[in-house]
Amino acid sequence: MRYKEYNRNAILEKAILLFWQKGFNGCSINEIVEATGVNRFSLYHEFGSKEGILYASLELYRERYSKNKFDLLKNTDGEIHKTLMQFYTAFLEDNQPMAGCYFIHVGTELADTDENIRESLNSYLDEILSLIQGLLIRSGIEKNVGFYAKHLLGLFCTVMSFCLIQSPAEYREYVANGINIILSSYAKIVEQ
């Protein structure tokens, strides 16, 4: 069948880039047709709607670009500040379509009005939260793990938008400062 001749993931890669650069509402189905070279009928057949393309593109991003970053948090032998730093800076790297996080970008635009987007943003951030919790526990932090994880996730949300206008050096400094402020409060509690 004709519509199966193209590569689904190749379409979604193009969609990620378009939605990321122009926003979901800033890009028409015609532009997607043009960028992918796949006609409208086939796109709708495969994804159902423009929203369907967006949802599928988020899945691909999570699978293709987030998983390896999430794996950094599963590191078992690194020092915690270093491991966190690696995780936060992984989103800066050139190994994804743009700097930052696609989920935060799409969430900023659409999570108020699209329940599916809200849900997937929530589940994405939840996964990061539990990975950070795991990291904290492995690093010997016993008290208030949920508390520190929550604020390290807050730092993630901050830098994923803030980082877009900072130079990589400023970004690293901001992240390091944030991690220190959050984790040094743990050291103080332990001392007391």
Complete DSSP assignment for 37-72: ---HHHHHHHHSSHHHHHHHHHHHHIIIIIHHHHHH
Q: Binding other proteins by CB under 8 A: which of 7, 9, 25, 39?
A: 25
Q: Binding other proteins by CB under 8 A: which of 165, 169, 191, 192?
A: 165
- The smaller minimum CB distance to other proteins, of residues 75 and 185, is found at 185
Is position 55 an interface residue for other proteins (rule: CB under 8 A)? no
Q: Binding other proteins by CB under 8 A: which of 122, 137, 168, 187?
A: 122
- Cα 39 to Cα 29, 35, 60, 113: the distances in Å are 10, 10, 21, 28
Tokens of 163: 């980082």
Count residues binding other proteins (CB under 8 A): 38
Q: How far apart are CA 30 and CA 34, in angstroms?
A: 6
- Cα 175 to Cα 35, 127, 185, 190: the distances in Å are 36, 20, 16, 23
Is position 95 an interface residue for other proteins (rule: CB under 8 A)? no
Q: Give the footprint of other proteins on residues 61-80 (CB under 8 A).
A: none
- The smaller minimum CB distance to other proteins, of residues 10 and 187, is found at 187
Is position 127 an interface residue for other proteins (rule: CB under 8 A)? no
Tell me how far, at minimum, the Cβ of 187 lies from other proteins, in Å: 12
Cβ proximity of 100 and 118 under 8 Å: no
CA 2-5-10 angle, to 5 degrees, is: 135
Is position 168 an interface residue for other proteins (rule: CB under 8 A)? no
Is position 121 an interface residue for other proteins (rule: CB under 8 A)? yes
Provide the binding-site residues for other proteins, judged by CB under 8 A. Answer: 22-27, 100, 104-105, 107-109, 111-112, 118, 121-122, 125, 147, 150-151, 154-155, 157-162, 164-165, 174, 177-178, 181-182, 185, 188
